[in-house]
Amino acid sequence: MTLTGPKSEKASKRPPTPGGRRVPPGPPPWAAPSLFKKLATDRIALMSLAATYGDAARLSIGPKTLYFFNHPDHAKHVLADNSGNYHKGVGLVQARRAIGDGLLTSEGELWRKQRRMIQPVFQNKRISRMDGVIAKEAAHLVDRLRSHTGGEPVDVVQEMTSLSLGVLGRTLLDADLGAFSSIGHSFEAVQDQAMFELVTLSKVPMWVPLPKQIRFRRARKELQRIVDHLVADRLARGEDGDDVVSRLIGSTRQEADPRVGRQRMRDELVTLLLAGHETTASTLAWTFHLIDGHPEVRERLHAEAVEVLGDRLPVHDDLHRLRYTAMVVEEVMRLYPPVWMLPREAQGEDEVGGYHVPAGSDVLISPYTLHRHPAFWDNPDRFDPERFDPDRPANRPRYAYIPFGAGPRFCVGNHLGMMEATFVIAMVARDLRLVTVPGHNVVPEPMLSLRVRGGLPMTVHSA
């Protein structure tokens, strides 16, 4: 499906703004009800619809007007060159009520303080020393999967979630998150609430006893209990480590109001627990779905893993040798970027791609549609890891591919995520073959990350 093409003839004929400023084309005002339905039930379809109007579109949905930009130059301008004019926007603003003021949703000096505090934990030198921890967690995953060989299907989404939580706990928190079996279910409720906040624009009070909100309130209490336990355990051990919990304890002690410090610690840890496992788990699930449908890719992955690893665990130096595996990961993140939308709010008026953007406007950059732009990707809907062969010239702008975002808010955990995904895919492909249950419809679910809706049942076979 080509996502960008000639401007729709049904686009509304909006006059220029005062001063002759250009306004992007878009659906007519009477399309608002159908747009709102897509916002509530099929956000990928909404982004794809916007892309049919060209590289810029204006979507009026009730009280909201969304400015959609879908060109690498637009992404560069909004996310990097003029990033100071753009704060987190629609969706993430509303998600703040669900997940608080962590690194994902905070702004200004608070965000800079949080970024400075956490950045050293993600330094490449430190993450490279975690290769053994990641490899052992991946080995535990392979053992769990192998126990199901020839048996009933396993939910690969659930397995990848367990794996990524294990890696997160061991590498960043110095904790065993396997002791908290409720984390996955709690984050389901949090993401449901975040999307509810988006659709309702946070107009429904949190105390209204809707089933969704009741589940969310319980989930939030459970997540706060978990992070409080992590902090109490670290304090009881009396250790000064360089993990996130230790650094947060030291950072929040500087708050004049202890209550502010406690809340900030909770918000940051809840955000880390969510962002630190959800995106990698989603990428891995999409990977095993796609390689099941492409036997030639699976065979190359298997051959490379056998050649590079033999029967041992991977180490950091293997990353540059698992070249095809990395190419597969990059292509999966092109088709199904875990962060599928980067919403921003313009603080002052601006011009993007020759179009006027008023102050206060909601601006959307969608990696999902940008990664499928036919001007920059041949056969954009085809799964083709060869696109990322380092020996082939890319011939595309830098900002045509932004799976980890861009600019100052570029994902701080990109190196950890790539190492984890590469190790897991290589080790599973070496030993096992995962096959999607026949008839199961695999559908994207755009929440805070781009997940597989309803899980991914697969049977396990020897490689």
Q: What CA–CA distances, in Å, run from 277 to 32, 37, 105, 182?
A: 35, 29, 17, 14
Please give the residue that has the higher pLDDT: either 250 or 143: 143
Average pLDDT estimate for 343-364:
94
Q: What is the model's pLDDT at position 401?
A: 97
pLDDT, greater one: 2 or 296 = 296
Collapsing DSSP states into helix, strand and coil, what is residue 66?
A: strand
| pLDDT for the residue 234 | 83
pLDDT at 16: 56
DSSP conformation class of 272: H
Query: Which amino acid makes up residue 448?
Result: L
Mapped onto helix, strand or coil, the DSSP state of residue 336 is: coil
Beta bridge partners of 432: 462
- pLDDT average, residue stretch 166-184: 86
pLDDT at 196: 83
Residue 41's pLDDT is what?
87
Any idea which of 33-37, 40-44, 111-115, 393-397 has the lowest mean pLDDT? Answer: 111-115
341 pLDDT more than 70: yes
What stretch of H or E contains 355? strand 355-357
Angle among Cα 61, 65, 67 to the nearest 5 degrees reads 120
The pLDDT, as a whole number, for residue 9 is: 37
Give the mean model confidence (pLDDT) for residues 413-429: 96
Q: How far apart are the C-alpha atoms of 398 and 382, rounded to whole Å?
A: 20
Q: What sign results for the dihedral spanned by CA atoms 16, 21, 26, 32?
A: negative
Angle at the Cα of 220 from the Cα atoms of 214 and 223, rounded to 5 degrees: 145
Residue type, 237: R
Q: How far, in Å, are 77, 90, 107, 111, 276 from residue 87 at the CA level?
A: 13, 10, 7, 11, 22
From 232, 269, 229, select the one nearest 248 (Cα to Cα). Answer: 269
Q: Please report, as a single letter, which amino acid is at residue 124.
A: N
Which has more confidence, 249 or 455? 455
Tell me what pLDDT residue 385 has. 98
Give the pLDDT of residue 3: 55
Position 450 confidence tier, pLDDT thresholds 50, 70, 90 = very high
Structure tokens at 317: 């130096």
Q: Where are the alpha helices (DSSP H) in 238-382?
A: 244-252, 258-292, 295-309, 323-335, 367-370
CA–CA dist 263, 100 (Å, integer): 9
Name the residue with tokens 């309130």: 217
Average pLDDT, integer, range 361-388: 96
- Reported confidence tier of residue 257, pLDDT bands at 50, 70, 90: confident
Whole-number pLDDT of residue 17 = 54
pLDDT at 278: 85
Lowest mean pLDDT among 15-24, 212-221, 232-241, 308-317: 15-24
Question: How would residue 8 be classed by pLDDT, with cut points 50, 70 and 90?
Answer: very low
pLDDT of residue 129: 93
Rounded CA gap, 431 and 461, in Å?
Answer: 9
The mean pLDDT value for 123-129 works out to 89
Cβ atoms within 10 Å of 13's Cβ, excluding its own: 6
pLDDT confidence bin for 63, thresholds 50/70/90: confident
- Please tell me which of 159-163, 184-188, 205-209, 245-249 the model is most confident about, judged by mean pLDDT: 159-163
8 A C-beta contact, residue 73 and residue 339: no
Q: What is the pLDDT of residue 197?
A: 79
- Strands in 432-436's sheet, in edge-to-edge order, are 154-155, 457-462, 432-436
Give 327's strand partners: none
Alpha carbons 319 and 253: distance in angstroms, whole number: 39
Residue 13 pLDDT greater than 50, yes or no: no
pLDDT band, very low/low/confident/very high, at 20 (cuts 50, 70, 90): low
Which contacts qualify for 37-46: CB closer than 8 Å, 24 or more apart? Answer: 39/198, 39/199, 40/199, 43/341, 43/446, 44/340, 44/368, 44/444, 44/446
- The alpha carbon dihedral of 217, 115, 75, 378 has a sign of negative
Mean pLDDT of 127-136: 94
pLDDT above 70: percentage of residues in the chain: 94
Residue range 48-56: mean pLDDT, rounded: 92
Output the average pLDDT for the chain.
Answer: 88
Residue written as token pair 């979507």: 59
Query: Do the Cβ atoms of 355 and 23 come closer than 8 Å?
Result: yes
Q: Contact 65/39 with Cβ under 8 angstroms?
A: no
